A and B are shown apart, each in its own frame.
Chain A
Amino acid sequence: MLVLQGIVDGILAGALYALMGAGLTLVFGVMEVINFAQGIIVVLGAYFTYTFASHLGVDPFVTLLLTIPIMFTLGYAVYMLLLRPIKRDRVIMSLLVMYATAVVIEGVLDLIFGGTLVEVNASYGTGSVHLGALDFPNVYLLAFGLSAVLLAALFWILYHTKFGRSLRATTQNLTAAKLVGINVDHVSALTLGIGVGLGAAGGMLFGMTTPFNAASSYDLISRLLVIVILGGFGSVWGAGVAAILMLVIEDVVAVVWSPVWGQTVFYLVLALVLMFRPQGLFGRRIARAQ
């Protein structure tokens, strides 16, 4: 029964990580940028929700109406100002630039909020739904629901809009996309905006489920990177499957053995998978490229 509960917890939390990881893997697919700032972006989103909810006294879900547009604009601006000028060694240079950006955001957040752990509270947050012996915490159910809705919206954008077609074309072949007249910079900036926006939405849910401070971003980004590698870089589906798989493993290990080892096992699974499939579960093998 403990194992079953672990699986349920893992699936519910996994959907949340899938949401945060989707932004990361999408951005990589389009512009080969490893957004190391995604962890702090999630925390920033959580702090936005925390501030709006406590000062305006509105429901955390309503704050998304403010948070997502703000974060989208931030992502768009970061691409245009910091990433577009990079012409050489894109993969590593953009990683270092995003790393430095993350450090700046971390510094600002720590300066404003200090290191104390805070949590986003909602009246319905503490209860849970019981189904037999299984326990479904309300917060995680809502997180699962919102993640599912946002991911569905993402897939709709990707497969049913002109922008989505441009985005997928850019992912497949940058040069060819340019040749058929796609404004690659605009598409990339919009994609980073969407990735950051999804991260911020994930942040609101993260803030409701976990106490956080600015330093939580390192734990987050290491998990998200593992999920994205495991799923195969650039594959949104892969990230989703990997997120749920990893969180189920982590939660089952946590209830069966010890919470301390849950996360370590999470990384060991990654090492094992990469021994046999260096390209991740759903990635394409990179041929001649280094």
Chain B
Amino acid sequence: MAVAEAAPELLSPAEIDRAFRDPFSPSKRTRATSWILLLAALTAFPLVFTNPAVTSIGVFTMFFLVAVVGWNIFSGYSGYISIGHAVYYGFGQYTVALLILHLGITSGVSELAIVPLAGLAGAAVAVPVGLLVLRVRRHTFIVLTIAVMFIFQLLAFNFPSITGGSSGMNVTPPSWSGNNFNLPFYYIALGTAAVGLLTSWAVRRSKFGLGLLAIRDDEDRAKGLGIKVTRAKLLALMLSAFFVGIAGGLYAIFVGQVFPQFAFTPFYDLYLAVFAFVGGLGTLSGPVFGALLLGPLQQYFEIQFGATTLYLIIYGVLFVVILLALPRGIVPSLADRYRSFLASRWRRAEERRGVGGSVTAGSMIASAPGAAPSERGGS
């Protein structure tokens, strides 16, 4: 291997593209297969475990999944961490409860049919909220989202003629009952989560999504490059609020009651952010992992220890331990481990072939597994 090359050979754009593609990330086919397997497993879950106590944990987990995936579309991609998404959650709950009350809806099917309106209401309220909170950045943004959430809680308390105030509202439960009560909620939420993930994926791949990532990295520079930052942030917030609103609407019908302190609750803000952080912020699969791992755990603790506030202690300690142990989230941490494992294996193989020694940029590109035609067929 020559130590210094006088004139490095020029690479064609396709070669450069190949060389810079991460050779250690799973292939497209592996990814697609895992998503389909996951979807199949989640679809089969309530059919295998038919105990209503178990499926209702599943239902709440699906609600979390919808909301966390939605949360990630805004906060994960744009880097604006919202600790106030309970605004859209509560708004979705009240929208559904008020519509059912005033339209006199009684059948369960038409109750579920108006749930998309909860999403639209969430997206609509995201416009004024967004225009206010998106004026500030970083810590002020975070704190302002919390404050706005408390404003909505107070408003729900302060308009008893509309919201019922502190005595809350009742939502007529759907007419079907028994062991199959949970199933429609489960599958609707699962379907919504799948739509949410597709949206998230589409956003990630689009120019709009690239704009959001640019905002996360350096907003002023993104603005300088011609990205309409306010419009992009607001649009992302509306998309995100849509899914959180739907989660709220489904929750209101499923639980049958809406209270200001449970609809606009700081706990929900905390759950969404922690679930997304634990999974991996701004990744496609991170929020899914976070919700599927921590959602059932949250439900289990609440059922098991909910009589006292012991579950708060357990949950708080668990959060602190997870946040300190996996500061980057499960998906990025595991991806790093996997990547360095593959890289070290590849390096060892190279050493055995005697290619090691001093490495120049040209040689690295030439010998990276992604660029070597003989190894490409295998991945």
Contacts and interface: CB of A to CB of B under 8 A. Distances in A.
A89 B327 contact: yes
Nearest to A217: B266
Interface in B293-316: 308-313, 315-316
Interface in A102-149: 102-104, 106-108, 110-111
A242 interface: no
Interface residues of B, number: 48
A214 B309 CA distance: 11
Interface in A249-269: 260-261, 263-264, 267-268
B313 to A, nearest CB: 4
A107 B135 contact: no
Nearest to B270: A99
A34 B143 CA distance: 8
A267 B138 contact: no
B144 A229 contact: yes
Nearest to A91: B139
Main secondary structure of the interface of B (DSSP, over half): helix
Interface in B168-220: 215-216, 218-220
A79 B52 CA distance: 44
B317 interface: yes
A288 interface: yes
Contact of A107 (B151, B313, B328): B313
Nearest to B129: A271
A267 B151 contact: yes
Contact of A222 (B150, B155, B309): B150
B126 interface: no
A107 B158 CA distance: 28
B137 interface: yes
B140 A101 contact: no
Given A229-B143, A261-B158, A290-B138, A100 B215 contact: no
B277 interface: yes
Contact of A34 (B139, B270, B308, B320): B139
A33 to B, nearest CB: 9
Nearest to A261: B158
Max count, chain A CB within 10 A of own CB: residue among B137, B155, B215: B137
B136 A104 contact: no
Interface in B222-268: 266-267
Contact of B154 (A267, A271, A286): A267
28 contacts: A85-B324, A87-B327, A92-B273, A97-B324, A100-B274, A100-B317, A100-B323, A103-B270, A103-B312, A104-B320, A107-B311, A107-B313, A110-B309, A111-B309, A222-B147, A225-B143, A233-B139, A260-B158, A264-B151, A270-B147, A271-B132, A271-B151, A274-B136, A278-B136, A278-B140, A288-B218, A288-B220, A290-B137
Interface of B: 79-81, 83, 132, 135-140, 142-144, 146-147, 150-151, 154-155, 157-158, 215-216, 218-220, 266-267, 270, 273-274, 277, 308-313, 315-317, 319-320, 323-324, 327-328
Interface of A: 28, 32, 34, 82, 85-89, 91-93, 95-97, 99-104, 106-108, 110-111, 214, 218, 222, 225-226, 228-229, 233, 260-261, 263-264, 267-268, 270-271, 274-275, 278-280, 283, 286-290
